[in-house]
Chain A
Amino acid sequence: MSEGALLDRLAQAGPLHALLTPLDEVRSGVAAQATRPPAQGVLAGVPLVVKDNICTLEYTTSCGSRILEGYRSPFDATAIVRLKAAGAVIAGKSNCDEFAMGSSTEHSAYGRTNHPLDPARVPGGSSGGSAALVAARAVPAALGSETGGSVRQPAAFCGVVGIKPTYGRVSRYGLVAFGSSLDQIGVFGDTVTQAGRVLSVISGRDPFDSTCADRDPVVPPERPRDLKDVVIGIPGEYFPADLDRGVRRACERAMERLRALGATLRDVSLPHTKYAIPTYYIIAPAEASSNLARYDGVRYGPRFGDPVDVRALYRNTRGQGFGPEVRRRVLVGTYVLSSGYYEAYYGRAQRMRGLIAQDFDRVFGDGIDLLFTPATPTPAFRAGENMADPVAMYLADIFTVTANLAGLPAMTIPIGRVQGLPIGGQLIAPAFEEARMLGTALALEAVVTGTEEA
C-alpha cells in the first residue's frame, strides 16, 4: 500500500477515533521508517497499527493513560523490531482501555472508540482501536495484547480475525506489563492467512524476555487442514441456556459446516469454566497492582501540584494520573494481596487456576484436537451499557479468559452477523499448537462468510 493510500484510509477511519497518533505524526513516522533498506520479507510494505501499550520508537506509548501522556520509549518492542525487519510499516498507535484494563475501549483516557458498523456501540476491548481499524479496512493487520481476551473479544465484536498465542510464544519485551502471568501480544488480521503471517514474524525465542519460550517461530499452514480425522470438542459450559440466540445460531451453523468438512464434533465438559472470571479478577488486579507501582511520579508519570513529601507526590500522581477502572483494579489488587487476605483470595485463585488448566488438559488428553466455542456471549454492546457495573463489564470476557488462565493459544474468526453485527467463533488449541489451530481456522474460513446473516 502506498503511503498516500495508507494516509487516506486512516483519514477515512478518523471518525472511529481508533487511532491515537495524529496523521501528520503517522506521515513522519512512516517516512522515518522508509530510511531503512528497501522493504523485503513476508510483510514487505504491509502497514500495521499497534496497540498503544507496545513500545515503538516513532510514536508515543501512552497505554491509553494520562499518566504516560507523551511518553517516548527509547526502544522498539521485540515484536516491532521483527515486524520492521520483515518489511512491515508501523502506521501509528491504536486506542485501548487504559493499561489494557477493560472490554470496550471506553476506559481510554483519550475517549472511546466507535464500533465500525454502529457508532452507538463499542468495538470491544481492550485492543478496540486495533480491531476497529482492521475491520474498517484502514490496515490489513494490527497488534494488540491480551490479558483476559483483549484481542479475541474486540476481533469478534468487529468481525475480524484475532489470535492470542500460547503464553510465551511471543516475546513481551516492550509490552507494558499489566498481569505478567497472563499478558501476551496478539494479532489482528483481515484474514486468517494475514494474521498467521504476522504471528509467524513476531513469534519465537527472544533473549530480552526470559519468559519467552525457547521455541522456533510459528510456521503458519498454507492451506486449510483436512478435517477428516480431526475431533473438535464442543464444551457445554460455553453454550449456556441464556446465550444470545444470534450467537448460538451463528455457532451452530459454523459447527454444521465443520461437520460437513469431515470433522468429528464431540460434546465435552470444562466444569470449572464458570469460575474463570472470578479467578481472573483476583489474579489480574493483584499482578496489576504490583506492575503499576512504577507509575509514581518518580520512575514514570508526571508530578501534580506541589507535593509536600514523597508520599504525597506518589499519591497525587497515581490519584490524578490513573482513570477510574485502573484505580479500582489497583485497589482490588492491593486488597487481595494484603496481609490476612492473601491466601483466601490470591492463593485460592492460583489453585482455582490449576483446576481450570486441568479441565483443558483432560479434554486434550482424551482425543480432542481443538475446542470450538462462541468468542463472546453477545454481539457488540452499546456504549455506556456496562459502565455502571464493573462486574457486568467483566462478564464480556467470560469465553475468552479461560485460555489466558490456562496459557493456551486461541483465536476468533468471523462466522456471520446477527442483525448486522458480527459474531466470532473461537478455536482453542493445546499449548504451542498454533499451526493446528490456524489450519482449522483456514478450513472454517473457507466455508463461512463473516458477513452473512445467521
Chain B
Amino acid sequence: MSVSKDEVLKIAQLAELHVDDAALPVLAQQMSRILDYVAQIATVAGSESAPPFIPGPVSAPFRADEVRPAPLAFGPKDLAPAFRDGFFLVPRLGQFAAGADAAVDDE
C-alpha cells in the first residue's frame, strides 16, 4: 500500500503539523515505506486473536485525594516569557489584531 500526498496532508492536519509542499513527495514516499514495512504483521498467524499486551500493573494505585504543594524549584512566573497577576501573557494572534475588543486589551 502507499500513501498519497493528499493523505499525508490530511494526516498532517490531524497531527497539527505544517508540512512544506517541497517536502511532501519525499515524506509520502518515506511514510509509504514505513507503513508497507509494518503492515507485514497482518499476515502473522494468531495475531488477530492473541490477547493484547501492555506491561506494568493492571491498574494504577490511587493516592489520597488531597491538595498537596507541587514540589517545584520555581513557579510559572519563571517558566513563561511573561506572567502577570496569575496569568501568562502571550502575543496576540493575528485574527484578533484588527479592531480588537477593548475588554480583552489590558494594556
Which residue numbers of A lie inside 8 Å of B, CB to CB?
57, 72, 74-75, 167-168, 181, 207, 210-211, 213-214, 272, 275, 278-279, 281-282, 289, 293, 296, 298, 303, 306-316, 318-320, 322, 327-328, 330-336, 338, 344-345, 347-358, 389-391, 394, 405-407, 431
Contact = CB atoms under 8 A, between A and B. Distances in A.
Given A296-B16, A332-B35, A351-B50, A308 B95 contact: yes
Contact of A275 (B17, B33, B41): B41
Residue in A74, A296, A338, A394 whose Cβ sees the most chain B Cβ within 10 Å: A74
Nearest to A310: B93
A332 B36 CA distance: 11
A181 B55 contact: yes
Contact size range, B: 35 or more
Contacts of A331: 8, 11-12, 15, 17, 27, 31
Given A318-B18, A338-B14, A391-B33, A275 B73 contact: no
The 10 A-B residue pairs whose C-beta atoms are closest, nearest first, are A319-B18, A407-B55, A308-B94, A350-B52, A354-B53, A315-B18, A74-B72, A210-B60, A167-B55, A314-B16
B55 A168 contact: yes
Nearest to B26: A324
B56 interface: yes
A211 B44 contact: no
Contacts, number: 166
Secondary structure at the B interface, as helix, strand, loop or mixed, is: loop
Interface of B: 3, 8, 11-12, 14-20, 27, 30-31, 33-35, 37-42, 44, 46-57, 60-61, 63, 71-75, 78-79, 90-91, 93-95
B40 A316 contact: no
Contacts of A279: 38, 41
